[in-house]
Structure formats: C-alpha cells, structure tokens
C-alpha cells in the first residue's frame, strides 16, 4: 500500500454540499521537474535540529504546490477540513479529503503535489524525521487518561493524541522520549512541573514545542474550549 493510499484510508468524509473552486491555470502550470520540499514555496520552514525539521504548510483556495520531493520520512498533522486533490509525479490526480487533527506517517521517498479546489485554505504542520536516537521506549506516559489515543507506533516514532475538555487534567506523568508537541486547536493550558511551579500557555492551532529532555509535569485545560494536541515521540 502506498503512503498516499494509507492517507486516504485515514481521511474522513467532509461536510456535503461544498462547491469546488477552480484551481487557477497559473497554479497548475508547473514544471515537470520537482523541487526539494525545502524549496517548495508553500512549505514555510519553522524549526530544525539534527532530529527534526518542521514546516508550516498553507495552500489557499484555488492554489497548488509545486511538485516536490520528500527525501526523509515525515508526519503531517492537518489543521483544516479541506477537500484536496493530490498527484504523485507520473500518476493522475486523486481526491484527498483531509480533516482537522488527522495525522499520517509517510515513508520517503515521495514526489507529489497538492491542489486545493476547495473554498477554504489547507494548512498542516509537516514534520520530517531526520534522525532517531535509538531510545528504548516505555509504555505511553498518558495511558489510561481519558481523551488519550495512540495514533501510530512504528520503529521510528510513536504518535499520540490528547484531548482535554475544559477543566480536565492529565495528572502528573513523565515523558522519557524526546518529542514534538503540536497544538491542533486553540486553547489555554496550565503546565505544572514536578516542583509545583505552574505556567499557563495560550495556544493557537499549529503552535509546537520541541522537548529534547525527559520531563515530569501535569496539564490542565484552564480555558473554555476543548484542547487537542498531537505528540510525536522519537524512538
């Protein structure tokens, strides 16, 4: 099964009745030569170290990316409900509906482009897995917490989703693996560290934090909206 087919299997049906926006001729008039993902103008570079590289991807209605090549395994976390078309180089375009919070791991190497005929913008956070530390993963520190789900667990990463309703807390837990946390929804969250110190953060969708060291803390949703986040742990 191709990575693109796996992504399609994970996609959910979007709201019916949305009319397509024609993709402009300028958007589809692209060279058959692919560019590296780092040179694709809709992929906005945000962060990099030896383990990870992060892009914030935005494709407006009627626009399309260039053909671009992903040379590293990557994870994408969708932040919008958008009806896309995707095309692997050398193949025909296919429908690709994406939904908020949908998270997919894709093996390299893949060359493709994405077109947005929808009326709403498409946005995701794309996370390249450059290197893994060969850590010995323990069981999930969030196991048993309501709203927690393991999305994927393979030889490179473990991906977890956490949903906290207003007033809900995780309780104290310890993360042993380095990780990248991505906010899927806007929310106000209080972090309490092992020494009892508390810090309150107001997240916007797409905000992320890199955590290179083990940490012990608790999280509480102190706002009025649901908090949803995805944690990618390096193995």
Every domain of the chain and the residues it spans: 3-129, 148-234
Does domain 148-234 match CATH 3.30.70.1400? no
Q: In what order do the strands lie in the sheet with 52-59?
A: 43-48, 52-59, 122-129, 74-78, 103-106
pLDDT of residue 154: 94
Q: What confidence tens digit (pLDDT) does each residue in 1-60 have?
A: 444 444 433 333 333 345 455 554 444 444 468 999 999 999 999 999 999 999 999 999
pTM listed for this prediction:
0.85
pLDDT of residue 22: 58
Architecture of the structural domain at 3-129: Sandwich (2.60)
Q: State which H helix or E strand residue 78 sits in.
A: strand 74-78
Higher pLDDT, 170 or 32: 170
Residue 157 structure tokens: 């990463």
Please, are residues 230 and 161 in contact by the beta-carbon 8 Å criterion?
yes
Q: What confidence tens digit (pLDDT) does each residue in 193-207 have?
A: 988 899 999 999 999
3-129 and 148-234 agree in CATH topology: yes
pLDDT of residue 10: 38
């Amino acid at each position: 099964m191709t990575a693109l087919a796996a992504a399609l299997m994970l996609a959910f049906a979007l709201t019916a009745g949305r009319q397509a926006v024609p993709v402009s001729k300028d958007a589809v008039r692209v060279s058959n030569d692919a560019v590296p993902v780092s040179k694709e103008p809709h992929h906005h570079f945000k962060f990099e170290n030896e383990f990870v590289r992060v892009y914030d991807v935005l494709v407006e209605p009627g626009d399309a990316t260039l053909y671009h090549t992903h040379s590293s395994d990557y994870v994408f976390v969708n932040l919008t409900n958008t009806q896309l078309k995707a095309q692997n180089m050398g193949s025909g375009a296919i429908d690709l509906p994406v939904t908020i919070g949908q998270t997919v791991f894709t093996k390299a190497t893949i060359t493709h482009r994405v077109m947005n005929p929808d009326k709403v913008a498409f946005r995701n956070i794309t996370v390249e897995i450059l290197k893994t530390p060969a850590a010995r993963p323990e069981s999930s520190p969030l196991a048993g917490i309501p709203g927690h789900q393991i999305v994927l667990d393979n030889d490179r990463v473990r991906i977890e989703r956490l949903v906290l309703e207003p007033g809900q807390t995780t309780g104290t837990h310890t993360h042993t693996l380095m990780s990248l946390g991505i906010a899927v929804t806007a929310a106000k969250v209080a972090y309490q560290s092992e020494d009892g110190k508390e810090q309150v953060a107001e997240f916007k969708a797409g905000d992320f934090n890199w955590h290179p060291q083990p940490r012990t803390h608790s999280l509480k949703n102190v706002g009025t909206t649901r908090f949803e986040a995805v944690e990618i742990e390096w193995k």
